[in-house]
C-alpha cells in the first residue's frame, strides 16, 4: 500500500520536477550566453579601433603573423632592448647566434611565471562555481586578440605589438599570480631572476649603442637622439616633420628650432604641403625630417627643389627609415 502511494506521489510530482530541471537548464544556458556576450562586448572598442586598419596598405611591412605573434610576446616581456634586429630578415642561424642566448636568459623566468600563472587560473577555476567563465575570460584576454589578427593576416597584416598593447597589464597580472603562488624560497629566486632579466633588457635599451657582458647593444627602434642631434647641428630656420607624430619622439632630444611645421598624412596632405613650400620660400635653411618614404616625401622633394639646393641628406635606417634633408636657398 505504501509503495503504491509513493509511486503515485512520484508520478504526480514528476512533471513539476522535470519543469524545474528544464527551467534551471534554460537559466544556465541563458547565463552562459550572457556572460560570453559581455566578454565579447568588452572587446568592441578594440575591434572598432582595429577595423579601419583593414584597408591600410601601409602595414604590409609587419610581416608574417606566425613570426609576429611570438615577437609580440617578446616585446611584452622585455621591451625593445633585447633582440632588436629579430625581424630584420637575417638567416635564422645568424639571429640565433647573435641574439639567442640573450633572448633565452631574459625571457625564461618571465615566460615560466606567465605559464605558471595561467595554469593556476585554469586549475583554480575547477573549484569555483563559474569555472567555464573564468577559463573563457583567461583565453579571451591572452589568446583571442592575437588569434583574431592571425586569422585575418592573409588579407590584412595587422598583428603588431601596439595593436594588442592592452594585453600587457593582464600579462603582468598573470605573471604576478604565478609568482605569488610559489613557496617563499622559490619566490625570492624567481624575483631575483626576473629583476635581473628586466635590468638587462633596460640596460640594453638605454645603453645602445655599446656592449654589455659581450652582448652588442643596438637600437631597438629609431635612433631619435642621433636624428635630433643632427638637426641641432644644422641650425635650421624651420624644421618640417612629416608625418606629424614623429615630433613626439624628436622633441625629447632636440633644441626646439625657431619654427616647427607638422604635416599630417591624409587626403588634404598635398594641398597643405604646397602651401607650406610657398610660405617658406624666403627662409634661409629648411630641414625636413621624413619617414616611410612614399608620395608625401616625393612631393616635398619636388617642391623644395624649386629655388633651393639640397645641401645635405642623411639616412637613419632601422625601422622607419628616417631621412633628414637640408634645403638651402639658392644664391641669387
Q: State pLDDT tens for residues 196-233.
A: 999 998 888 888 777 888 888 777 667 788 888 888 88
Domain membership flag for residue 49: no
Same structural domain, 207 and 232: no
Residues 13, 68 share a domain: no
Within-domain flag for 279:
yes
Domain count, the chain: 3
Whether 196 and 233 share a structural domain: no
Which has more confidence, 309 or 222? Answer: 309
pLDDT at residue 15 in the model = 53
Residues in the chain: 332
pTM: 0.64
Closest CA to 112 of 178, 171, 187: 178
* Co-location of 36 and 79 in the same domain: no
Residue found by looking up cell 639616412 in the block: 315
Residue at 56 is within a domain: no
**Average pLDDT value for residue range 48-65:** 56
Domain containing 281 equals 224-329
C-alpha separations of 276 from 33, 40, 282, 284 in Å: 56, 46, 12, 14
Q: What is the pLDDT of residue 113?
A: 93
pLDDT tens, position by position, 243-259: 888 888 888 887 777 78
Rg (CA), the chain: 29
Does 20 share its domain with 144?
no
State which of 196, 217, 238 marks the end of a domain. Answer: 217
Residue 14 has pLDDT above 50, yes or no: no
Give 9 or 240, the one with higher predicted confidence.
Answer: 240
Residue range 68-117, pLDDT digits in tens: 788 888 888 888 888 875 555 666 777 778 788 888 889 999 999 999 98
Say which CATH number the domain at 319 has.
Answer: 3.40.50.150
Print burial letters for 139-157: b (CB count within 10 Å at least 16), e (below 16).
ebbbeebbebbbeebeebb
Amino acid at each position: 500500500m505504501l509503495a503504491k502511494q509513493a509511486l503515485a506521489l512520484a508520478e504526480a510530482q514528476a512533471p513539476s520536477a522535470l519543469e524545474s530541471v528544464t527551467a534551471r537548464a534554460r537559466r544556465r544556458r541563458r547565463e552562459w550566453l550572457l556572460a560570453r556576450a559581455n566578454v565579447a562586448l568588452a572587446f568592441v572598442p578594440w575591434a572598432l579601433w582595429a577595423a579601419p586598419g583593414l584597408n591600410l596598405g601601409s602595414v604590409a611591412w609587419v610581416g608574417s603573423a606566425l613570426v609576429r605573434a611570438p615577437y609580440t610576446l617578446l616585446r611584452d616581456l622585455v621591451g625593445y632592448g633585447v633582440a632588436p634586429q629579430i625581424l630584420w630578415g637575417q638567416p635564422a642561424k645568424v639571429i640565433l647566434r647573435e641574439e639567442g642566448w640573450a633572448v633565452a636568459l631574459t625571457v625564461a623566468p618571465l615566460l615560466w611565471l606567465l605559464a605558471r600563472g595561467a595554469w593556476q587560473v585554469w586549475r583554480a577555476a575547477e573549484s569555483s562555481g563559474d569555472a567555464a567563465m573564468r577559463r573563457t575570460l583567461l583565453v579571451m584576454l591572452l589568446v583571442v586578440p592575437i588569434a583574431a589578427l592571425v586569422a585575418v593576416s592573409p588579407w590584412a597584416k595587422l598583428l603588431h605589438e601596439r595593436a594588442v598593447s592592452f594585453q600587457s597589464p593582464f600579462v603582468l597580472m598573470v605573471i604576478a599570480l604565478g609568482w605569488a603562488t610559489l613557496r617563499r624560497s622559490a619566490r625570492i629566486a624567481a624575483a631575483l631572476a626576473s629583476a635581473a632579466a628586466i635590468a638587462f633588457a633596460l640596460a640594453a635599451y638605454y645603453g645602445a649603442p655599446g656592449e654589455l657582458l659581450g652582448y652588442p647593444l643596438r637600437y631597438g627602434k629609431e635612433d631619435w637622439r642621433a636624428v635630433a642631434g643632427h638637426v641641432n647641428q644644422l641650425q635650421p630656420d624651420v624644421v618640417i616633420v612629416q608625418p606629424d607624430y614623429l615630433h613626439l619622439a624628436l622633441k625629447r632630444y632636440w633644441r626646439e628650432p625657431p619654427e616647427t611645421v607638422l604635416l599630417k598624412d591624409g587626403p588634404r596632405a598635398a594641398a597643405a604641403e604646397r602651401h607650406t613650400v610657398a610660405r617658406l620660400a624666403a627662409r634661409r635653411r629648411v630641414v625636413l625630417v621624413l619617414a616611410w618614404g612614399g608620395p608625401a616625401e616625393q612631393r616635398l622633394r619636388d617642391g623644395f627643389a624649386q629655388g633651393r639646393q639640397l645641401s645635405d641628406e642623411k639616412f637613419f635606417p632601422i625601422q622607419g627609415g628616417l631621412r633628414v634633408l637640408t634645403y638651402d636657398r639658392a644664391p641669387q
